[in-house]
A and B are shown apart, each in its own frame.
Chain A
Amino acid sequence: MRFRDEYRQAATARGLADALAATMTRPWTLMEVCGGQTHAILRFGVDALLPPGLALVHGPGCPVCVTPVDYIDKAIEIAACPGVILCSFGDMLRVPGSAGTLLEARARGADIRTVYSPLDALALARAAPDREIVFFAVGFETTAPANALAAYQARREGLGNFSLLASHFRVPPAMRAILAAPGNRVQGFLAAGHVCTIMGMDEYEPIAAAYRVPIVVTGFEPVDILQGVLSCVRQLEAGQALVENQYARSVRQLGNCVAKALMAEVFRVVPRHWRGIGEITESGLGLAPAYDAWNAECKFGSVRQGIEPERGCISGEVLRGTRKPTDCPAFATRCTPERPLGVTMVSSEGACAAYYRYRGAALPVTAAPR
């Protein structure tokens, strides 16, 4: 299959790994930002090809993982209201709030439906005018444009029975927060290719300059990731801190301008609480005041974002990239996908779930260089 098979070639991957080994003169620690990249690394065993001394730490780019408990609780509360149909992407349904999951709420009788696009929820609102359709709009800049389009169309059509419970996140402020945190180990980033497909690369230039870190916009196949790592290491070895584009088959400098214009129309930048990490200034997107009539928080009361209770695991540190899933004493013992302690194990995109799924509880973990 084109655009896939050539990025999964063993010979190409080994060639890149050799080039990497030849380039490195000292250890480096890089972070891949997106959960999709983390999964590819574990699924294909990319980390096993890396030379000793090259450490990849896993970033916070798993939307399901970082959505605060309070939003899940609010979604469950809204779903319990008479006449409401709550629509959500599938993998959000399994994530526990403070009192259970959306799947459990559905089993108790709430009308909760899985959709593949917010526009499906909009179609449902048109078809069922006597019901109140609430779409649980989560995700990064990747899902934001389609959610913005749903709100925009609902407003244009004057559809009064549709609203969004929006918990959107922006990646660049989280990268700044990681770099500014005491004890930060990250010396370079593989930026999330799909986020940059929408947003372009301009936002990353000031981060690279201010913190003196190379940022390589990277794709999701094993060869993409190895190319991203090699570019990043070449820069580090040369003392550079530039924004580069490895994922040029998808990412343009300015991104998708139509999508960005729509997001600017519908959303505004807000502070956002990240589960396991805490509040990060300007790291969220909330609906703009002109969209109050389509804002579920205006219809059903606002979400109070607070501090979540400690869950007896290190998922917060895993999300910040300070520790690895296998550093956790609960990993694969007290904490498994069936009985998860932290969100990084619950979500299919989470780093702990990736380690468990591809390395197994019994398999010795491939030497993950630190």
Chain B
Amino acid sequence: MSGGGAEFALACPPLPAADETVQLAHGSGGRATARLLETIIRPALAEPELDRQHDGAILEAAGPLAFTTDSYVVRPLFFPGGDIGALAVNGTVNDLAMCGARPLWLSVGLILEEGLSLATLRAALGSMRAAAAAAGVRLVTGDTKVVERGKADGMFITTAGIGQVVAPAPIAPDRLRPGDVVILSGDIGRHGMAVMAAREGFGFTPAIESDCAAVAAPVLALLASGIAVHCLRDPTRGGLASAMVEIAEKAQCAIALDEALIPVRADVAAACDLLGLDPLQVACEGRFVAFVPSADAEPALALLRAHPVSAGARVIGAVTVGSAGQVSCRGPLGIARALDMLSGEALPRIC
């Protein structure tokens, strides 16, 4: 058909109007900033503490507190099963839970790239609000900056969190004892594969969904039950293998896992096989590992399985008296291999 040029022009999406995108002025601290806060950010987060428009939040607490911070950068911003907003809340909530604390308050630092669509910003903030409500935390203070186009990947979010420590004894690697069992709360590798597949456009059907979720509820239930939880860890970057090696090295003990007991969904396993990645080194964002005395294994499993986010909990191995810092994993042939931390970036192989 002739006139293809005109047709092409018609097919192009119209550029968003200036008032539909983040502008540099939105970070100036002046009227534009005030308008962004007033019309987008505060309504989206719907938190009374933010509406007071103070320089910071005034909080009351007693007893020991846990305090943590994490920055979230992910491409794409939205992926099957989650988005940067949900990740920024759940990740910090989970870090507090891993300290044996009840998550209470979060701060939100936004770094926005000039040109980011306001609809995207609104959606990410809405997701933060929903994740915060689900986890029972409040987003009590925040900050917004805008950087020039090309200087950020759409948006970066930093959250810091404060929680009330409820664990009766410290939660730390040095409390590991030979004989402790390793409990994993569910299947692994979904977040890392979901994000990689979305970013690279692999087009798996159906898409692999991230496990992005807060795990504070089952952890708090475990701590409240009187079970002696020795250590907790969420296997995020570097996956289960890196988390186990980190703990074994810190605790100066050995950990023996059994690959047959570690749940990996068939779609994740197939994607990992295809790309030459080890699911044990792929990130999770809604899973945790708990070390408890073997006598407590059954009650702990029953308790965890009552929560949807940890319904797939199972024992995957034990702390042993082997060489300090060594993590082994028994494979399908019954032969153990060593597990190591991820070396460098996880790069798919050539063939």
Contact B200 A45 (CB under 8 A): no
Interface segment, one of B61-69, B208-216, B338-346: B338-346
- Let me know if A4 is at the binding interface, CB within 8 A: yes
- Let me know if A299 is at the binding interface, CB within 8 A: no
Contact of A116 among B200, B269, B328 (CB under 8 A): B200
Which of B202, B331, B333: most chain A CB closer than 10 A?
A: B333
Q: How far is the CA of A356 from the CA of B343 in the complex (A)?
A: 11
Q: How far is the CA of A63 from the CA of B270 in the complex (A)?
A: 23
Contact B337 A92 (CB under 8 A): no
- Let me know if A320 is at the binding interface, CB within 8 A: no
Q: How far is the CA of A366 from the CA of B335 in the complex (A)?
A: 10
> Which residues of A sit under 8 angstroms from B347, Cβ to Cβ?
90-91, 93-94, 114, 348
- Let me know if A349 is at the binding interface, CB within 8 A: yes
Contact of B343 among A14, A337, A362 (CB under 8 A): A337
Contact B337 A358 (CB under 8 A): yes
Which of B340, B347, B351: most chain A CB closer than 10 A?
A: B351
Q: How far is the CA of A349 from the CA of B351 in the complex (A)?
A: 9
- Let me know if B30 is at the binding interface, CB within 8 A: no
Given known A-B contacts A94-B344, A358-B338, A362-B326, A139 and B351 have beta carbons under 8 A apart: yes
Residue of B nearest to A49 (CB): B333
> Which residues of A sit under 8 angstroms from B336, Cβ to Cβ?
45
Contact A45 B333 (CB under 8 A): yes
Contact of A363 among B273, B326, B344, B350 (CB under 8 A): B326
Contact B335 A63 (CB under 8 A): no
Chain B interface mostly helix, strand, loop or mixed?
loop
Q: How far is the CB of A37 from the nearest CB of chain B, in Å?
A: 12
Contact B323 A362 (CB under 8 A): yes
Q: How far is the CA of A8 from the CA of B350 in the complex (A)?
A: 23
Q: How far is the CA of A45 from the CA of B266 in the complex (A)?
A: 23
Q: How far is the CB of A366 from the nearest CB of chain B, in Å?
A: 8
Contact A359 B350 (CB under 8 A): no
Contact of B333 among A1, A222, A362 (CB under 8 A): A222
- Let me know if B348 is at the binding interface, CB within 8 A: yes
- Let me know if A46 is at the binding interface, CB within 8 A: yes
Contact A116 B348 (CB under 8 A): yes
> Which residues of B sit under 8 angstroms from A43, Cβ to Cβ?
331, 337
- Let me know if B54 is at the binding interface, CB within 8 A: no
- Let me know if A75 is at the binding interface, CB within 8 A: no
Q: How far is the CA of A166 from the CA of B13 in the complex (A)?
A: 38
Residue of A nearest to B275 (CB): A116
> What does the 1/0 interface line of A4-24 toward B look like (CB < 8 Å)?
100011100110000000000
Contact A48 B335 (CB under 8 A): yes
Q: How far is the CB of A292 from the nearest CB of chain B, in Å?
A: 25
> Which residues of B sit under 8 angstroms from A91, Cβ to Cβ?
276, 347-350
Q: How far is the CB of B148 from the nearest CB of chain A, in Å?
A: 17
- Let me know if B334 is at the binding interface, CB within 8 A: yes
- Let me know if A186 is at the binding interface, CB within 8 A: no
- Let me know if B115 is at the binding interface, CB within 8 A: no
Q: How far is the CA of A139 from the CA of B349 in the complex (A)?
A: 11
Residue of A nearest to B328 (CB): A363
- Let me know if B325 is at the binding interface, CB within 8 A: yes
> Which residues of A sit under 8 angstroms from B350, Cβ to Cβ?
63-64, 89, 91-92, 138-139, 143, 349
Contact B348 A90 (CB under 8 A): yes
Q: How far is the CA of A88 from the CA of B274 in the complex (A)?
A: 18
> Which residues of A sit under 8 angstroms from B334, Cβ to Cβ?
10
Residue of A nearest to B277 (CB): A348
- Let me know if A312 is at the binding interface, CB within 8 A: no
Contact of B331 among A45, A138, A349, A363 (CB under 8 A): A45
> Which residues of B sit under 8 angstroms from A300, Cβ to Cβ?
none
Contact A63 B333 (CB under 8 A): no
Which of B200, B347, B348: most chain A CB closer than 10 A?
A: B347
Contact B338 A8 (CB under 8 A): no
Q: How far is the CA of A35 from the CA of B48 in the complex (A)?
A: 59
Contact A1 B351 (CB under 8 A): no
Q: How far is the CA of A363 from the CA of B266 in the complex (A)?
A: 30
> Which residues of B sit under 8 angstroms from A194, Cβ to Cβ?
351
Q: List 12 A-B contacts (CB under 8 A).
A: A1-B266, A14-B333, A36-B349, A36-B351, A43-B337, A45-B335, A89-B349, A94-B347, A349-B276, A356-B340, A358-B337, A362-B326
Residues of B near any A CB (own CB < 8 A): 200, 202, 266, 269-270, 273, 276, 323, 325-326, 328, 331-338, 340, 343-344, 347-351
